[in-house]
Amino acid sequence: MANTPEEKLPPPSRRKDRKCNECPTMIRRDNKSGLCTRCVKKSNEFRRAASGAAHRRYEDPEQRKRTGAAVKRANQLDPTIRVRKSQIMKEIAATPEWKARNAQQCRDRRLWEIGVAARTPESDARAGRTFSQRHGIASWCPLEYIEQARELRKAGVSVEETKRMIAEQQEADLERYRRKMGSRWGGDGE
C-alpha cells in the first residue's frame, strides 16, 4: 500500500483549512468562533465568559478551597511562579489605561468611604507612629541609636548636629567592636 498525500492528512474535522476572522492564522474547519486561540483570548466576549465562569467558581466554597490548595502547591513546587505573576501584574499596573480604569472603579465604588468608616482612634495613632518613623528620626537613624537621638533633639540640638553626633557614636562603637574581635575584622587585636 503506497503512502499517498491523502493518507498523511489528519481527519477532515481536524484539518486547518480556514483563516481566522481577525488574522491570517489557519484554524480548523469545525472552529465555531471563527477566531484563532490568540484572537479569541483578546475578544471581549471571551473575557466576559471567562470572567463570569471564574466568579461562579469562586462563589463555591469547596471549589475555592481546592483552588487555593492547588495554587499553594504550585507555588511550593515552583517558587518562580509568584515572582513571574508579580512581574506581570506590575507591568499591567504600570500602563496608563489600567491606572485610569482602576481610578474610575474606585470612584464608582466610593472606596474611600469604606476606608474612612473603618478608621478608629487606634488606627490613626498607629498611622501617626508609622509616619513619624518613616519621616522623622527613624528614617535616618539606626534603631539602636534612636533614643539617644531623641534625647539630643529634646535638648535642642539641631538635626544636622544630631546626625553628625550619631554617626560619630556609631563609628566609635564599630571601632570598639572591631578591636574587640581582633584581627578577624582587620583591627590590631587588643
pLDDT in tens, 9-20: 666 556 677 888
pLDDT for 55 equals 81
Quick one: residue 186, left, alpha or beta (phi over 0 = left, psi -120 to 50 = alpha)?
left
CB distance 140 to 163 below 8 Å:
yes
State whether the Cα torsion 137-141-145-151 is positive or negative: negative
Amino acid at 173: D
Judged against a pLDDT cut of 80, whether residue 8 lies above it is answered with: no
Q: How far is CA 145 from CA 11, 125, 156, 171, in A?
A: 78, 23, 17, 12
Q: How many CB atoms lie within 10 A of CB 56?
A: 10
Q: What is the pLDDT of residues 156-178, one digit of tens each?
A: 999 899 999 999 999 999 988 88
Give CA–CA dist 189/177, Å, rounded.
Answer: 10
**93 pLDDT above the threshold of 60:** yes
Give residue limits of the domains in the chain: 10-59
More confident residue, 6 or 91: 91
Percent of the chain, pLDDT > 90? 23
> With bands split at pLDDT 50, 70 and 90, how would you rate the model's confidence at 128?
confident
Q: How many Å apart are CA 15 and CA 11, to the nearest integer?
A: 7
Q: What is the mean pLDDT of the chain?
A: 82
Q: What is the pLDDT of residues 24-69, one digit of tens each?
A: 888 887 887 888 888 888 888 877 777 787 788 778 889 889 988 9
3-state secondary structure of 16: strand
Q: Hey, what's the cell of 172? A: 566609635
- Three-class DSSP category at 10: coil
Q: Please report the pLDDT score of residue 177 as a whole number.
A: 85
Position 155 scores a pLDDT of: 93
pTM: predicted TM-score of the whole model, two decimal places: 0.33
Distance (Å, rounded) from C-alpha 166 to C-alpha 147? 11
Report which of residues 53 and 102 the model is more confident about.
102
